[in-house]
Amino acid sequence: MSWTIDAADVPDLARGAAVLGTGGGGDPYIGALLARQAVTEHGPVTVVSTDEVPDDALGIVVAMMGAPTVMVEKLPGLAEVAAAVAAVGRNLGRPVSHVLCAEVGGVNSTIPIAAAAALGLPLVDGDGMGRAFPELQMVIPTLYGITAAPMAFADEKGNTGVVQTIDNTWAERILRVALVEMGCEIMIAGFAMTGVQVREALVPGTLSRATAIGRGIREARAAKLDPVAATVAALGGRELFAGKVSDVERGTTTGFARGRATVVTDGGTGVLSFQNEHLLATLDDQVLVTAPDLVIVLEQDSGEPITTESLRYGQRVRVLSAPADERWHSPEGLAMVGPAYFGYDVPPRRFDGTVEDGSGEAVAHAAGPVGA
């Protein structure tokens, strides 16, 4: 069922997307500004379900690629968004009919709104991950053999290009070099899909889910209820631990924001390891959850999501975990986004403490939730 996004809807969607984005996907506030500007100037965006996309449609993923830390000082603009979409449309030889989201996280849930508004196209209620991940090939469409190429890219200076690659990992490798040269932030457009492929390969309903989560946080605060507890319930997740951020190590290298944050809790010392997104949570060296399941950091009282680039010493936080789309727990999914890919020598551990053997099968179970 279709619905519309206007300027008043954007803050709730951006907040909820930042929750699902596991700390990555870019600054939701900046992305919301861009989306609100676009819908104010060009009118509301029509959002359609994956079931409403015609079989012969041409849907294109529109996203920002780069380090979220850079975006704080280098604001994205509509010109480079439109340039990337136009370039890929010219390459494919037919007009784009629908805008798609690569990930439901931070700015990469709101840039597609801006693109859809500026181009007068419908936006599909779904995304390629069900969360956010740091590399271009890390989308469920890759598991279905959908290619990123032709992939167009554009920067704020007016540079544009289109790459043809043999697979999606090569698209990531080539564009990562380009974005470093172009200031660690570019707009991209690619992953061309028909309506049939959209229904098969996207995670459906994630934009409406993000909007509901963001609205739930706002309404819980207004009702003097616990917004973090409301978010846990909406996610079907659990709270891992709560405490004060005592240290943050962060650096921008090869186009990624990499680091770790230490959280002192009543029950021990928690550590969050991230590469744009949170990928691993431990408590006193015990692994609690790993990618592909979600690790989420919220402000203790307000329930506002905290991105990896905005983590600071002294913040009071609550750390949650939630389940990822089940397709990420297949052997192919774990090979692409499991902890081993990111260099962590631990078996995948689901949000509920279940340990996997790397084949997608559970082999043991934790004693139970940590915290609430």
pLDDT in tens, 306-358: 998 889 999 999 999 999 999 999 999 999 999 999 999 999 999 999 998 76
Copy the structure tokens of residue 269.
């010392």
Length of the chain: 372
Say if residue 70's pLDDT is above 80: no
Distances (CA, A) of 280 to 99, 103, 303, 310: 31, 19, 21, 18
Per-residue pLDDT at 193: 98
User: Residue 128 is encoded by which pair of tokens?
Assistant: 């390629």
56 burial (CB, 10 Å; 0-12 / 13-18 / 19+) is: exposed
**Hey, how many other C-beta atoms are within 10 angstroms of the C-beta on 2?**
11
Interatomic CA distance for residues 295 and 5, integer angstroms: 28
Question: What does the pLDDT read at residue 177?
Answer: 92
Please report, for residues 44, 99, 240, 252, 354, the alpha-carbon distance to residue 96 in angstroms, rounded to integers and kept in the order given.
19, 8, 43, 34, 42
pTM above 0.85, yes or no: yes
User: d(Cα 229, Cα 220) in Å, to the nearest integer?
Assistant: 9
Helix (H) or strand (E) holding 201: helix 195-201
Dist. CA 235–CA 8, nearest whole Å = 23
Least confident of 11-15, 69-73, 102-106: 69-73
Overall average pLDDT of the 275-289 stretch: 95
Asked whether residue 293 carries a pLDDT value surpassing 60, the answer given is yes
Give residues with Cβ within 8 angstroms of 157, minimum separation 6: 182
| Residue 367 banded pLDDT, cuts 50, 70, 90 | very low
Instruction: Identify the three-state secondary structure at position 366.
Output: coil
Tell me if 317 sits within 8 A of 300, measured CB to CB: yes
pLDDT surpassing 80 at residue 172: yes
> Which segment of 27-36, 93-102, 304-313, 340-349 scores lowest on mean pLDDT?
27-36
- Name the average pLDDT for the chain: 91
**Residues 6 or more apart from 101 whose CB is under 8 A from it?**
61, 62, 63, 108, 109, 112, 123, 124, 126, 127, 128, 206, 207
* Contact call for residues 62 and 187 (beta carbons, < 8 A): yes
Residue 224: half-sphere exposure toward Cβ, Cα within 13 Å? 0
Q: pLDDT confidence of 136, banded at 50, 70, 90?
A: very high
Q: Is the pLDDT of residue 59 over 50?
A: yes
More confident residue, 362 or 271: 271
Q: How would you list the strands of the sheet with 256-265, edge to edge?
A: 286-290, 277-283, 268-275, 256-265, 238-253, 316-322, 294-299
What per-residue confidence (pLDDT) applies to 1? Answer: 83
Which domains, and CATH codes, for the chain?
3-206 (3.40.1610.10), 225-364 (2.40.390.10)
Cα distance between residue 328 and residue 143, in whole Å:
9
Q: What is the pLDDT of residue 356?
A: 83
What pLDDT is attached to residue 359? 63
For residues 27 and 307, what is the distance between their CA atoms, to the nearest angstrom? 7
CB 71 within 8 A of CB 110: no
Contact criterion met (CB below 8 Å) for 183 and 155: yes
Q: What is the pLDDT of residue 365?
A: 44
What's the confidence (pLDDT) of residue 370? 39
The structure tokens listed for 325 are 């789309």
Pick from 162, 214, 204: nearest CA to 12: 214
Say yes or no to pLDDT of 366 above 90: no
